[in-house]
Chain A
Amino acid sequence: MDTVQHPSATWEAVSNGIVFYRRQQLYTLPGKLPNIADYLIAGCKNGGPIALMRDTSKLVALGRGGPAFSKSQIQVYSPAGEGLLLFSWDQGRIVRFGWTFDERLVVLNEEGVYRLYDLQGDYQQFSLGNEAAELGIIDARIHENGLVALTGSLTLLEVKDWEGGRPLALANPGISEPPHSHVEVLLSVDATILTVDNLESADQRVARGPFLHVSPSPNGKFLALLTFSGLLWVVSSDFQRELVVLDTATVGAEGPVNQVEWCGNDAVLVTWNDLASLILPSRDNLAGETLRYLYFGATFVVTEADGARVIGQDVCDFIQKVPASSVSIFRPGSTSSSAILFAAWESFVQRSPKADENIRSIRSDLAAAVNECIDAAGHEWDPHWQRKLLSAAKFGWGFLDLYNPTDFIAMGQALKVLNAVRFYEIGIPLTYSEYQYVSPAHLINRLTSRNLHLLAIRVSSFLSLKPDVVLKHWASVKIARSKSSAVDGEDDEVCRLIVDKFEKLGGGEVSYADIARRAWEVGRTGLATKLLDHETRASDQVPLLLTMKEDKLALVKAVDSGDTDLVYHVLLHLHKRLPLGSFFKLIEDGGDQLAPASKLLQVYAREQNREMLRDFYYSDDRRVESATLALDEAAQMTDPHAVMTAVNAAEKFFSEDKDRPFEAKMMNESVRLLALQQQYEKDSDGKVKFFGQSVSETIRTCISNDMSKKADRVKSEFKVPDKRFWYLKLHALTAMRNFDALDTFARSRRSPIGYEAFVRHLVEAGHLKQAALYVVRCDGPKRVGLYVLCEDWRAAGRECKERGDKKGMEQLRKSCPNALIARELDQLIASMK
């Protein structure tokens, strides 16, 4: 225990011992990096890697660097000095390079082309546009979420994301010579600074320039500027408040300043060869206070949100303001409640009774003390102290009645993860605050992009995050790495591996479609198809199949999914892309499997594209459907001639099908009827409308308009059965109340429908008197009932008497409606005796 250095051993006090700064050694890297003085370096925030490129403006002793110097090469190292990536550049002079938020290296050349390299060396290439290519790019600044480039004509271009978005021109700064330095859109021109956004360019009227270095603080509130004369000037970013004005010559370093970078938001780190000097504002001295850190040789500083990483020739350090919770616990002589809690815990471990005494003394602040211990644990680098602080916290909350341990658990988990990734082989020295800021998901992405899938999946399952991301990345790397499908078994093998892993780890919820797309992109069509088979969501599967031009498969899958909208999606897509013939062939060859698709196509085409439907039916010899389509059109037409043409066409289609003689015959009748109706309309000078009526309706219309000859003609021409004709005439004449004609008609011959129908229909129409006239002609036994129906009671009575039907008479007597009739019936009954 004693061998472990106390946390405060690395502290250095400033501001009269209120604030402390500490230099934490993260890694030692003896001999792992080349001489960084000879290189241009870009560092990635949040414990990310650094990229090195040979600085051509510097002399290098031959033979030391090896062959790497002969061409343009970029090397990427982790903060622990592990080589991550090495690639050569062949695309013209590099203007700038830098890192994106998600750890991709941006390399911009003078032609305005920029590439985004991931840590595997795969890249996406974008361009700043033709104009930029012509004018050339003379300088650029790359930040996490975009870049600003200065073109040859001294205009500014901004790219706002890393998706290849179109560059946005910023307002023309109107400068005549290249600026001395620019940060984002702050240009240092001559003695002043220009701020530029896409609308305007404003001169900040600062007179101290020109400036060599301009560096904004991580939160953007302050600027650190260094003039040619070596004057460090720290101001608020609106240039209103001066914090430090210091002549750097007084620090006592030799040579030019290498970097001016911020260390957190509170201090500025100025580096020379062999020295890094931390300058922080002080309340009583405009020159600020200075802390000196000695290094051997050149260093490189990466600003972090809560400190700065200094990479020297053989160490990687982290300089940071000691967090308040740590100060409160570990500051020598601290009497804060957390410090006492910590002391109490130590006493407890040593079985000293002082523990109880200490706890008692801070009873009221115990909860806060516990929280502070937890917080401090997060800021400690050494697991030894993390453990101690957490134990102290746990010890403390044992004395609390109620305590929600969520924070404690979260901190424990976070630390476990952080310690794992800080391990030198992984080399991500992420601080706790940064971890909170970037989110665990982001950390997992960083791990996967380093191909550290095992660690990533363990971390994600430890934090109970969904494993999809890791699995997908793993699978795409697997695909990219596996040999291309020269051997048949290879695809199956890879597919099986991936499916196994997905099912085991992903709980069957990982989408295969993305992986398949990836496989297809690297030219592994066979593998892509196999993977897609495992995709259960057709809506993900089908679009890719379409891109892969697996037309039939796409259609089959869409049909299988039951989602008709998806089927339409495929159909419409294919209809656009394929020649009509092959489109039809594809559907027709599908047989039963694709029948639903074929049906849907017909539904669509019937409404939207009849021409296509006609072709479709024709190409498949579907006579009946063709005919139906023609009839369908006929039903929508109004022009008589067109209707007849359409019906004719239908007849022709039917007649071409040997199984459809009946339909053909019917259509033939239909055309004849239409012709006849036209004729009749002409005969009646257009007063009577016939066209489009059925045979029966035509007859009815004829009769209603006193054209019985014409009705007879229709009857004979269309072989209308007597029964139907008689009913029609009966109904029509009744409706006209033409009872004379009805009588003549009834007498014209013996009725094929009998006369009961006459009686009943007339009764239903309310013509009781007329109805009664026909009862005589009906069958004897029914007459009584029919007379009753006509409410002709007397006649009914007479009929009964004639037939000698006593029972019927009794019945009649019982049901008769009034006394008058009853009396008459009684008389009849009497007379019957």
Chain B
Amino acid sequence: MAAASASASDAQTSYETERDNEPRLGVELLKDTARKALIDTLNAVNGAKTLVLDPTLAGPLGLVTEVALLKHHGVDKMFWLEPGPLTSTTTNVVYLCRPLIKYVKIIADQVKAHIRESQKHRYTLFLVPRISTLVSRILEEEGILGDITISSYNLQFIPIADDVISLENDTAFKELWVDGDETVIYNSALALNSLQKVYGRFPRILGKGDYASRLATLLTKSLPDQPSPLSDPSIPSAPFDSLIIMDRTVDMITPLLTQLTYEGLIDEFIGLKNSHVELPVSLLTLPAAPNPSNPNATPSGSASITPLINEKTKKHHLSTATDPLLTELRDLNFSSVGKRLSRVAHRLDEDYKARLQAKTVAQIRDFVGKLGGLQGEHQALRLHTGLSEMLSLKTRAELFNKSLEVQQNLLASYEVSAQINAIEDMIAQGASMQTIVRLLCLASITSGGIKAKSLDGVKRELLQAYGYNYLPLLLSLAAPPLAILLPNPLPISAAPAVAGNKYPFVTLRKSLRLLIDDNPEALEEVENDISYTYSGYAPISIRLVQCVAQKSGVISNPAEKSSADDGDGKGKGSSARKLHAHPIVGWKGFEDVLGTIPGKTFDIVQKVPASANSTASSVASLMRPREQTTTTAVFFLGGCTYTEIAALRWVSRQNKGRKFLIVTTGIVSGNSLVDSIASTGKNLSTTKDVNTY
């Protein structure tokens, strides 16, 4: 553990020196808090215990702790919470799960089975993140409420990168917009409130979208007190200047498109779950035994690599803490990844060659000292070269390119009906259901609905090709408040809410400058605009953030001027030339644009409670030089994509004085959204990753 955290801080410092030296909020604190809370939770039950874990929590918990830590705190054996009998050798049985009805039923069955067999156990149920009446009610209905002690484990934001924190709730989108279950909003409000307790209040809360507005209202209202992780909030190095809440439905287009950054593409093709990716073992094993004389050699990475699942693949934690190369690669458009990799390879080669120049003993000692780092980089290079080979193989597939073509055409509103036919052809060619649904929804949103007749036709094709059991999925997509797969014109019977909420894509395309000329040469040289993440299309959600935090970026490319005389590319101009970020002044200048997008727009200035402490800090703020770096928190209610994270990082790099903290309910992609909606009612089969922890 110590080794891992040490290397984490190493990587972080090197990362910061590469980027800039501006202060940012230390989110590692949240991880420590979560880990400590977990230990306290486990220690609340005395003696050896059997831990029964909610499989969907394994991923998030894996980001917070390791199995070894659990063993240290009396966990004797671990099981997944799944149907079937539970055999426990310890008196204590500890369940750790989210308060879902299906889990409670499983628990009830297991406990009742034990009672029947007159096994005596002490049961403790820890609910994440808080205790629920529902659960106690169901336990009561099952008649075992008296046998179980119920408590909570308040797992809130988990840092998944040094500027991204997440609730890691995979089903948030579906719960909100399909089920109408607003629990996520309340939990988010509680979590954001804890965040305020740790890092100080958000002086201003802005946002867009009905549920986002609901969240903001909850945040400004008094929330019940919860134990805060820190008793005294010291003024952080980069205090919040605002919180921008984006509700996922404000920009449904972005997740439907194929992400074209490195990390985004990994998510699209291989799947990134809780920052873990399953890779062939051959990619992960070391080519040769590392030099034993080197204490700094990579194996610190192996701490986060979870044990073997089967012969073929292995889970790998993609984290900048253990992988120095990832920082450079993750946000690049995939087309420039190859180039970057070869540059790194060359550099590495030269570094290795340095050994030939080493003549004196001192020089050799220097070289040997660097060797560990070199080998680490070497290993990372191997991994990423292999990975990008895998990806580029897939990018060459015919269906993939066809899908990209359809996406580009739809975004440009070019021959919409021809695109629908193309989608139909893709069904015939056997494209995946998710791809088809994504494209159809995209067509519906961008063109304000698909012609009723062709829509029925393509829906029929879809059902025949993938199964009639997807009918509920289609219904969910068409039903308000989601309404992203609609016929045009709308049937008369449609709810007026749906009719009035047509997404004004065509106007937005112009007013927010969404489509940028895709010039391949320019793209390779300069990351000109956030649109690089989709090779020429700028995600609306991030454009809206720019409307608040970087107004000039919406109207023209701020990087263009600097790039003209900055041959270095990468927008890495010396910080002296970077302009200081403008203060947060709300939506000013873009009110009209926001007015056209359905959903409430809000801008709330939070009153800072009058107390001795705050007057001191307000005096401090007066004294503060204008150059003070502030943090803008951007909360994605319903999840965000890796491309959006990349785009926000890009925005952050353009100015000095403002850092973004990306806060989300979870990481989503078009496929994960479609999958979560499609599984409505079906038993979410979690068996897939049961053995992986």
Contacts of A653-672 to chain B: CB distance below 8 A? 659, 662-663, 666-667, 669-670
- Supposing A537-B224, A628-B681, A659-B493 touch, asked if A724 and B186 sit within 8 A by C-beta, the answer is no
Residue contact B429 to A727, C-beta cutoff 8 Å: yes
Number of residues from A at the complex interface, CB < 8 A: 58
Residue contact B461 to A572, C-beta cutoff 8 Å: no
B463 within 8 A of A: yes
- Supposing A562-B186, A607-B102, A695-B464 touch, asked if A631 and B471 sit within 8 A by C-beta, the answer is yes
- Supposing A537-B224, A695-B464 touch, asked if A753 and B472 sit within 8 A by C-beta, the answer is no
B469 within 8 A of A: yes
A490 within 8 A of B: no
Contacts of B224 in A (CB 8 A): 537, 539, 563
Q: How far is the CB of A759 from chain B (nearest CB, A)?
A: 11
A536 within 8 A of B: yes
A731 to B179, CA, bound (A): 38
Q: How far is the CB of B122 from chain A (nearest CB, A)?
A: 25
Residue contact B179 to A536, C-beta cutoff 8 Å: no
Residue contact B137 to A572, C-beta cutoff 8 Å: yes
Contacts of B639-684 to chain A: CB distance below 8 A? 680-683
Q: How far is the CB of B525 from chain A (nearest CB, A)?
A: 27
B233 within 8 A of A: no
Contacts of A667 in B (CB 8 A): 468, 471
Contacts of A562 in B (CB 8 A): 182, 185-186, 189, 214, 217-218
A670 to B137, CA, bound (A): 39
Contacts of B6 in A (CB 8 A): none
Residue contact B468 to A670, C-beta cutoff 8 Å: yes
- Supposing A599-B179, A635-B469, A694-B465 touch, asked if A565 and B185 sit within 8 A by C-beta, the answer is no
Contacts of A335 in B (CB 8 A): none
A564 within 8 A of B: yes
Contacts of B456 in A (CB 8 A): 662
Contacts of B181 in A (CB 8 A): 564, 599-600, 603
A602 to B182, CA, bound (A): 13
Contacts of B270 in A (CB 8 A): none
Residue contact B179 to A602, C-beta cutoff 8 Å: yes
A599 to B476, CA, bound (A): 14
Contacts of B180 in A (CB 8 A): 595-596, 598-600, 602-603
Q: How far is the CB of A826 from chain B (nearest CB, A)?
A: 30
Contacts of B20 in A (CB 8 A): none
B292 within 8 A of A: no
A721 within 8 A of B: yes
B491 within 8 A of A: yes
Contacts of B429 in A (CB 8 A): 727, 757
Which B residue's beta carbon lies closest to that of A697? B467
Q: How far is the CB of A11 from chain B (nearest CB, A)?
A: 49
| Proximity string of chain A (757-768) to chain B, C-beta cutoff 8 Å, 1 when within and 0 when not | 100100010000
A461 within 8 A of B: no
A772 to B609, CA, bound (A): 77
Interface 9-mer from B126-134, B322-330, B498-506, B597-605: B126-134
Residue contact B182 to A596, C-beta cutoff 8 Å: yes
A434 to B467, CA, bound (A): 81
Q: How far is the CB of A284 from chain B (nearest CB, A)?
A: 58
| Proximity string of chain B (112-145) to chain A, C-beta cutoff 8 Å, 1 when within and 0 when not | 0000000000000000001111100110010000
Give the residue of B134, B425, B465 whose beta carbon is less than 8 angstroms from that of A565.
B134
Which B residue's beta carbon lies closest to that of A695? B464
Contacts of B491 in A (CB 8 A): 659
A606 to B680, CA, bound (A): 10
A825 to B680, CA, bound (A): 60
Residue contact A604 to B101, C-beta cutoff 8 Å: yes
- Supposing A565-B132, A568-B133, A693-B467 touch, asked if A635 and B179 sit within 8 A by C-beta, the answer is no
A607 to B682, CA, bound (A): 11
A673 to B464, CA, bound (A): 10
Q: How far is the CB of B348 from chain A (nearest CB, A)?
A: 30
The majority secondary structure among interface residues of chain A is: helix
Contacts of A595 in B (CB 8 A): 180
A494 to B123, CA, bound (A): 50
Which B residue's beta carbon lies closest to that of A596? B182
Contacts of A707-733 to chain B: CB distance below 8 A? 718, 720-721, 723-724, 726-728, 731
Contacts of A718 in B (CB 8 A): 464
Contacts of A659 in B (CB 8 A): 491, 493
Give the residue of B134, B214, B221, B681 whose beta carbon is less than 8 angstroms from that of A536.
B221
Residue contact B475 to A628, C-beta cutoff 8 Å: yes
Q: How far is the CB of A537 from chain B (nearest CB, A)?
A: 7
A236 within 8 A of B: no
Residue contact B101 to A608, C-beta cutoff 8 Å: yes
Residue contact B465 to A724, C-beta cutoff 8 Å: yes
Contacts of A720 in B (CB 8 A): 464
B5 within 8 A of A: no
A227 within 8 A of B: no
Contacts of B574 in A (CB 8 A): none
- Supposing A568-B134, A635-B682, A662-B456 touch, asked if A721 and B428 sit within 8 A by C-beta, the answer is yes
Contacts of A539-567 to chain B: CB distance below 8 A? 539, 562-566
A669 to B180, CA, bound (A): 31
Residue contact B430 to A568, C-beta cutoff 8 Å: no
Contacts of B101 in A (CB 8 A): 604, 607-608
| Proximity string of chain A (154-194) to chain B, C-beta cutoff 8 Å, 1 when within and 0 when not | 00000000000000000000000000000000000000000
Give the residue of B427, B430, B463 whose beta carbon is less than 8 angstroms from that of A666.
B463
What are 24 inter-chain pairs, A to B, with CB distance below 8 A? A537-B224, A563-B186, A564-B183, A572-B133, A596-B182, A598-B180, A599-B180, A602-B179, A608-B101, A635-B681, A662-B456, A666-B468, A669-B463, A692-B467, A694-B465, A696-B466, A718-B464, A720-B464, A721-B424, A721-B428, A727-B428, A727-B429, A727-B430, A731-B430
Given contacts A599-B180, A603-B181, 4 further A-B contacts (CB under 8 A): A562-B214, A602-B179, A634-B469, A666-B468
Nearest 10 CB-CB pairs, A to B? A599-B180, A632-B681, A670-B468, A694-B467, A607-B101, A724-B428, A695-B464, A564-B183, A569-B133, A696-B465
**Residues of A bordering B, CB below 8 Å:** 536-537, 539, 562-566, 568-569, 572, 595-596, 598-600, 602-604, 606-608, 624, 628-629, 631-632, 634-636, 647, 659, 662-663, 666-667, 669-670, 673, 692-697, 718, 720-721, 723-724, 726-728, 731, 753, 757, 760, 764
